[in-house]
Amino acid sequence: MNILDYFSKLYKERRELTLLQWAYLALVIGSVVVAGIFALFDRAVGVGILIVPMVALIAMSMNVVAWALIKLTADTFLPKKPAKKTRVQKKK
């Protein structure tokens, strides 16, 4: 199973938070690599680019906390859906 199959499986299962975390992770890793390459030539530019992954990590942390609070609130205060009763047909 390749990575695209994994992401499409997460999308079909409606696992938005997991997909969002993967997007932030990709942004952080890409930004750190780019900052490292720029730092080889100009240290100030490399350090400046490191602001991007720092902001991404802060945003990811805030999203995870907000997601957890919304889920907790929804699970606590919204009524549960009643289970559907299924009829079992008897053969005569």
Task: Please give the single-letter amino acid code of residue 19.
Answer: L
pLDDT, one tens digit per residue, over 6-59 is 667 766 777 777 777 888 888 889 999 999 999 999 999 988 888 988 888 898
Report long-range pairs for 28-32 (Cβ below 8 Å, ≥24 apart): 28/53, 28/56, 28/57, 31/56
Indicate if the pLDDT at residue 86 is higher than 60: yes
CB-based contacts of 64, cutoff 8 Å, min separation 6: 17, 21
Tell me the pTM.
0.65
Sequence ranges of the domains in the chain: 16-74
